Amino acid sequence: MAANCYSERMMEYEIIRSSRKTAAIQIKDGRVIVRAPHFASNKDIRGFVESNSEWISKHLAMSEERRAEASYKLSQAELKALYSKAAEVIPERVEYFAPLVGVRYGRITIRRQRTKWGSCSSKGNLNFNCLLMLAPPEVIDGVVVHELCHLKEMNHSERFYAEVNRVYPGYAESREWLKAHGRELMAMLDD
Q: What is the per-residue pLDDT across 70-85, written as a single tens digit (0 to 9) for each?
A: 567 899 999 999 999 9
pTM of the model: 0.65
Residue-wise pLDDT tens digits, 34-87: 999 999 999 999 999 999 989 988 888 887 776 665 567 899 999 999 999 999
Alpha-carbon distance 15 to 168, whole Å? 43
pLDDT of residue 184: 86
What dihedral angle (degrees, nearest 10) is formed by the CA atoms of 85, 87, 90, 93? -100
The kind and range of the H/E element at 28 are: strand 24-28
CA distance 66 to 30: 10
Is 59 within 8 Å of 40 (Cβ atoms)?
A: no
Residues of the chain predicted below pLDDT 70: 1-10, 66-71, 191
Q: Which residues are within 8 A (CB) of 101 and not within 5 positions of it... i.e. 6 or more apart?
A: 145, 148, 149, 151, 152, 163, 167
Residues 152 and 141 sit within 8 Å (Cβ to Cβ): no
